[in-house]
Structure 1
Amino acid sequence: MTTASGRRPGLRWVVVLVLGLVLGLVALLALAGATELFDQDSAAPAGDVGSADPSVTGPTVSPSPTGSPTPSPSPSPSSTPSPTPSPAPVPVETPQPRERVFAGNRTLVAYYGTASSGALGVLGEERPDAIIGRLTRAARAFERPGRPVQVVFELIVTIADAVPGPDGDFNHDIARADVERYVRAAHRHDALLLLDVQPGRASFVDVAKRWTWALRDPRVGLALDPEWRMTRTEVPGRVIGRVDAAEVNEVSLWLANLTRRERLPQKLFVLHQFRTSMIERIGRVAVRQRLATVQHVDGFGTGEQKIATMRAVLRADKFHSGFKLFYDEDVGLMSPARVLAIRPRVRFISYQ
């Protein structure tokens, strides 16, 4: 049946119904697409979680969800976040000189002293660019097949004093300009620079932090000399100082964290000692992978006396071995061959 206009009465409603279904389908597709985009934006990108430093026991910048460190023997940066579904490869650090201090079976040979004065050691007898020739010749005497040598400037940057000084801490720092000269010389001559600190009544970590600017350099390490670590009532030069393992660990943790944050190669970390009492609870001193820790046995005398001191003090199961030679105070300067014959093997020799 048709009307006078010739149209079927239900056709209009059929058209309306079809249009409604089409519009509804379009809306559902749009909503699904928006939901997918939201899910992609809110998901954590692959590689967004950093790995903890296995050599540092303190807090890390970006801990993993499980709270456990990624087992890795050497420093590596956190993975770079990737917006793609597939994980991006972990970026490789730009290679730094001397990634591991003793890599290649190296022996380190140092001149010890402070800037512009030979009173505290041979290093200060000449400018760094002049003394490097003497140091290089001394180091070559320790070179053996398969055992190359690495020269080191060991520079006393904080010197203990017999008077309190303006801060009352019985120490003073040498001029920054002097340290900068040695930093530049280390780069020119492919040397390492070791900053030696004598804290007086200050703590080692407080003094070390004053040299943060220099320790950011990849060639610069740190040495602690407990002989000059005084209590609140002691005066440098009147007694032999001492430090507890807890304070050493505080310094090494700070230095390892600095090395990690700055993405630096392994740093040289030296502990001077010639009496067992100078480092209390030495068995609790932490050894950190980002630091090459050397127990450096000082003390002057005959060769037999020096070796006896070394055997009494050295903890070769924990640390690399260091040994000091005194040009003036030793009774019969030990030859390089005799030093190299010491067992366990000496890895760091310094001349004062």
Structure 2
Amino acid sequence: MMKLALPVLVFSALWLGQGCQSKAGKDQTGSTSDSTVTTSTESASADSPTTTSAADSAATDTTAAAGRKLSPLDSLGMIGPKITGAILPGKRILAYYGNPHSKKMGVLGEYPKDEMLRMLDKQAIPWVEQDSAKTPIQKALHLVAISAQGAPGKNGHYSMRMSDKTIRKVIRWAGEHDAICFLDIQVGHAPLGPEMEFLKPYLELPYVHLGIDPEFALRTSGAKPGSKIGTYDAADINEATQFLSKIVRDKKVPPKVLVVHRFTRRMVTNYKNIKLDPNVQIVMNMDGWGPPSLKRDTYHDYIQTEPVQYTGFKLFYHNDMKKVDLRSKHKVPHLMEPSEVLSLNPKPLYIQYQ
């Protein structure tokens, strides 16, 4: 199997409102990517006014057994899958990724809610049928809740926080569909700690988990998102693990899942120093797109050979279909089947579609 001489998978294109481009690059290069959202209708600050949906308004007017009124977050805590223990490895997570404000970022925002959820249900079927172990599927929605931006913005961080309304909306979509929800952070130039703190009220819900994306962590380099691939060190991942572990201990909720995206070596440094915690399940997610042979090589080079705990694999409904795999029997581009992904070692337990 070819190793470092191979181009790495192209990372998902940064959407800057001017169209998107993607091109292959070496381990240290960058290109534009579709993994971020820019929208004039979205709130960029945690302090911006929020709008309460009709469902949440009704919940707010409901009196709890203790005699107090339920907040919108309280109402979200009353729905969702009833998970009492660790999700992995007993289940395989199948997630739809994106943002409802962008059709370019992924399937989560590309289709209307009901159609998207029907697609998720249908997509889950072959993952059990083609799995010799018949591992049950835990469906998930993976929201980019803090999005990297091509301009510094009011906060100067090249990032934008989604509004409370948007975040609660997607969590509700997940909860009402018996799915878990991931909130993904693209920090831009912001420190990770305050961004996690912003998401803490949602992460305290038992079925809400965290994703962090080194691709857009560019604080140390000072580069603009989309111009260079960012990086996280083991210390950053340990910080996220400790943050989630404290939530688990304080709120007495089941272990959290932490997804870390990766498709180059420099995206995660000092992986041997990543510390495991019984309250947090760490997934290193192969996040690049390209023909199947290149995706397999990237999985081997940056996920399998630098193991942490659990592994993930990302599939792109559109970008993976751009090129024919010259190292396969296929004459036209094809999206990898579950059986192909499940032939990897170790078998990924987190599957993400964009």
Distance in 1 of aligned mates of 2:84 and 2:252: 13
Residue 309 of structure 2 is matched in structure 1 by 319
Question: Which residue is equivalent to 2:275?
Answer: 286
Work out whether 1:101 is the aligned partner of 2:87: yes
Report how far residue 129 of structure 1 moved: 4.1
Is 1:227–2:212 an aligned residue pair? no
Do the aligned residues in 1 keep the contact of 2:191 with 2:219 (CA within 8 Å)? no
TM-score by length of 1: 0.70
| 1:132 counterpart = 2:117 | yes
1-structure distance, mates of 2:267, 2:283:
15
1:304 to 293, 299, 317: 293
Query: CA contact under 8 A between 1:226 and 1:241: conserved in structure 2?
Result: yes
One-letter amino acid of the structure 1 residue matched with residue 315 of structure 2:
L
Who is 2:327 aligned against? none
1:196 CA displacement: 0.7
Question: Shift of residue 187 of structure 1?
Answer: 1.8
Runs of 4 or more above 6 Å deviation: none
Pair 1:198-2:175 in alignment: no
Q: Aligned equivalents of 1:163 and 1:117: distance in 2?
A: 17
Distance 2:175 2:318 in 1: 30
The equivalent of 1:166 in structure 2 is 154
Residues of 2 paired with 1:128 and 1:195: CA distance? 17
Q: Percent identity?
A: 30
Residue deviations 1:155-207, cap 9 Å, x none? 00000011111111110011211111122222211101001110000122221
**Is 2:325 the partner of 1:343?**
no
What CA distance in whole angstroms lies between the structure 2 residues aligned with 1:154 and 1:187? 12
Tell me by how many angstroms 1:348 deviates. Answer: 0.8
- Which residue identity is paired with 2:282? T
Bigger Cα displacement from structure 2, 123-132 vs 337-346: 123-132
1:274-309, Cα deviation, whole Å (9 max, x unpaired): 001001111111111111110001111111100000
- Structure 2, unmatched stretches of 5+, are 1-80, 324-333
Quote how far apart the aligned CAs of 1:345 are.
Answer: 0.8
Report which structure shows greater RCO (CA 8 Å, sep ≥6): 2
Cα distance in structure 1, aligned partners of 2:91 and 2:153 = 41
Question: In structure 1, the residue corresponding to 2:266 is in which secondary structure?
Answer: helix
CA contact (8 A) 1:321 1:345 kept: yes
CA distance in 1, matches of 2:177, 2:319: 29
Cα contact 1:157–1:197 (8 A) shared by 2: yes
2:336 matches 1:334: yes
Q: Distance in 1 between matches of 2:169 and 2:115?
A: 12
Structure 2 counterpart of 1:155: 143
Q: Distance in 1 between matches of 2:256 and 2:113?
A: 21
2:98 matched to which residue of 1? 113
Conserved 8 A contact 1:157-1:196: yes
CA distance in 2, matches of 1:166, 1:344: 43
State the partner residue of 1:7.
Answer: none
Deviations 1:70-96 (A, max 9, x none): xxxxxxxxxxxxxxxxxxxxxxxxx95
One-letter amino acid of the structure 1 residue matched with residue 164 of structure 2? R
Secondary structure at the aligned position of 1:276 is classed as coil
Match of 2:319, SS state, is: coil
Among candidates 230, 236, 239, match of residue 247 of structure 1: 236
Listed as ranges, the gaps of 5+ residues in structure 1 are: 1-94
Structure 1 residue 130, shift from structure 2 partner: 3.7
Q: With structure 2 as the length reference, what TM-score do the two structures score?
A: 0.70
Aligned length: 257
State the alpha-carbon separation in 2 of the partners of residues 211 and 226 from structure 1.
Answer: 18
Cross-structure match for 2:108: 123
Letter in 1 for 2:281: A
Q: Distance in 2 between matches of 1:128 and 1:101?
A: 25
After superposition, the Cα gap between the structure-2 partners of 1:262 and 1:175, relative to the gap in structure 1 and judged at 3 Å, is same
In structure 1, distance between residues paired with 2:186 and 2:134: 35
Q: Distance in 1 between matches of 2:195 and 2:248?
A: 17
Asked if the contact 2:95–2:139 (Cα under 8 Å) also holds between the matched residues in 1, the reply is: yes
| Counterpart AA for 1:178 | T
